[in-house]
Amino acid sequence: MGRTNPTYRDTVRAIRDRWQPFQRALRQRDQPAFERLFEHARSHADAGGYLNCDEPMFPILISIALEQERRIHQLEARVGELESETEPEATE
C-alpha cells in the first residue's frame, strides 16, 4: 500500500512552490533571503514532521524564527568578543 498523506517535507516543498510567484515578484536582492527562509524550514523538517500539525505554516514559521534566533545569538556573542578585545585595559 502507498502513502495516503504527504510527508512534512513534501508539504514544505508544496508550500514553497505556491510561494514561488511571490519570490519572483521580489527585488532581485531579496530573493536569496527568501530562499534561505525555506532552507530553515527544511533544516527542521524532522521536528516539523514529528509535530504532525494541522497547519504546516506554524512549524515552518517556528523553524525560521528558531534559526534567526540562533543566528542573532551567534552574532551577539561575536560582537561581545570583539568589544572585549578592543576595550582599553583599566589602569591601576
At 26-72, the pLDDT tens digits run: 999 999 999 999 999 999 999 999 988 889 999 999 999 999 999 99
- What predicted TM-score, i.e. pTM, was given to this entire model? 0.80
User: Assign residue 53 a region: left if phi > 0, alpha if psi is -120 to 50, beta otherwise?
Assistant: beta
Q: Residue 41 has which C-alpha cell?
A: 524550514
Residue 4 has pLDDT above 90, yes or no: no
Interhelix angle 31-43/8-18, nearest 10 degrees:
170
Using CA atoms, how far residue 63 sits from 1, 5, 39, 69, 73, in Å, is 32, 22, 9, 10, 15
For residue 2, the model assigns a pLDDT of 58
Q: How far apart are CA 53 and CA 30, in angstroms?
A: 29
For residue 74, the model assigns a pLDDT of 98
**Segment 64-90 mean pLDDT:** 92
